[in-house]
Amino acid sequence: MKRLLLILMITVLTLVACSENKKGETGEADRVTPVETGEVTEGNLEMIRTFYGRTVPNRTIPVIPPVAGEVTELEVVNGDEVEEGDTLATVQSPQGNINIKATNDGTVTQLSANEGSVVSNQEPFAVIVDLEQLTVQLQVPDVQLPLFKKGEQVVLNLKSAEEETHEATIEYVAKTANESGLFSIDLSFDNATTHYNAGVIATVNLNETVVENATLIPTSALVESDDETYVFTIENGQAKRVNVTVQATQSETTAVKAELKKGEQVITSGHLTITDGSKIEVIGEE
């Protein structure tokens, strides 16, 4: 009798356990994951390349006194604007009083003489810089040289009290690299009305086509696992895994090689908790 009761208890427990397992399996199979999607597109993948430089004077011309002698009169100080032919100083010499004149329009810099000091006719008395045209010097790697063509226009962002933009002309593109392995690019722009100083930081932003005629997907759709990269598409209300090969990526868009069609939807949110064949429900699109 005891043996019969024991057998009955075991049978009941087994039936209960099987029933619970079936309920669990049914719940798992019926689970639907909410997801968001984005669209597959086609086109060129472009990236913004930023280059940095500083403004430098377009022309820097030293002023050499015609004779050596003592400065008896000094007409300018550093920072003064002068025109070609203006008298900068008067020098007393064995030939008499000789005027030192500006050789071009511009701003006086590097003036170190004072009244009573002696100047030489072998070294610069001062330097006059032309700031009406400024040059911006960039250094770029060889792979990005095709972005710059002599004579074309680019937009400069100049950082001062307020950031401003100006059009600049590409004046020079180096054919040989410098000691750093970079190539020099010279840009010039009209500073006659803006009056920027030399040494201001300037940036140039250019669009570079990284991949042409590519399949493009939202970067957020990518999943990486076990050295594989893939995305999920949607088929009959279920997630379908599609392996992809990434060609190039940026923050929002990635170019891939994959069996994806233009206009197809890829899952961009909720895809980290699903597997191939999981039931899904689209609740939004990017």
- DSSP of 213-260, one letter per residue? EEEEEEGGG-EEETTEEEEEEEETTEEEEEE-EEEEE-SSEEEEESS-
- Burial pattern 161-184, b for ≥16 Cβ within 10 A else e, equals eeeeebebebeebbeeeeeeebbb
Average pLDDT, the chain: 87
**191 φψ region: left (φ > 0), alpha (ψ -120 to 50), beta (else):** alpha
All domains of the chain, ordered by start, with CATH?
Answer: 31-46+212-285 (2.40.420.20), 65-123 (2.40.50.100)
Q: Is the pLDDT confidence value at 66 over 60?
A: yes
119: number of Cβ within 10 Å: 22
pLDDT band at 226 (very low <50, low <70, confident <90, very high): confident
Q: Is the pLDDT confidence value at 241 over 70?
A: yes
**CA atoms of 113 and 71, how far apart (whole Å):** 8
Q: What is the DSSP letter of 93?
A: E
Spatial strand order of the sheet with 69-74 comes to: 96-101, 87-93, 69-74, 118-119
pLDDT band at 7 (very low <50, low <70, confident <90, very high): very low
Place of tokens 């962002």: 157
Q: What is the pLDDT of residues 192-204, one digit of tens each?
A: 888 788 888 899 9
Q: Is the pLDDT confidence value at 151 over 60?
A: yes
Question: What is the reported pLDDT for 199?
Answer: 86
Question: What is the reported pLDDT for 148?
Answer: 95
Question: What is the reported pLDDT for 219?
Answer: 95
Q: Is the pLDDT confidence value at 184 over 50?
A: yes
Handedness of CA 152, 155, 159, 160 (dihedral sign): positive
pLDDT band at 277 (very low <50, low <70, confident <90, very high): very high
**CA atoms of 116 and 113, how far apart (whole Å):** 8
Q: What is the pLDDT of residues 8-33, one digit of tens each?
A: 454 444 554 555 554 444 445 568 99
Q: Give the pLDDT mean for 166-192.
A: 93
The tokens for 72 are 């008896």
Closest CA to 81 of 129, 133, 135: 129
Q: What is the pLDDT of residues 81-107, one digit of tens each?
A: 999 999 999 999 999 999 999 999 999
Question: What is the reported pLDDT for 158?
Answer: 83
Q: Is the pLDDT confidence value at 4 over 50?
A: no
Longest CA–CA separation in the chain, Å: 143
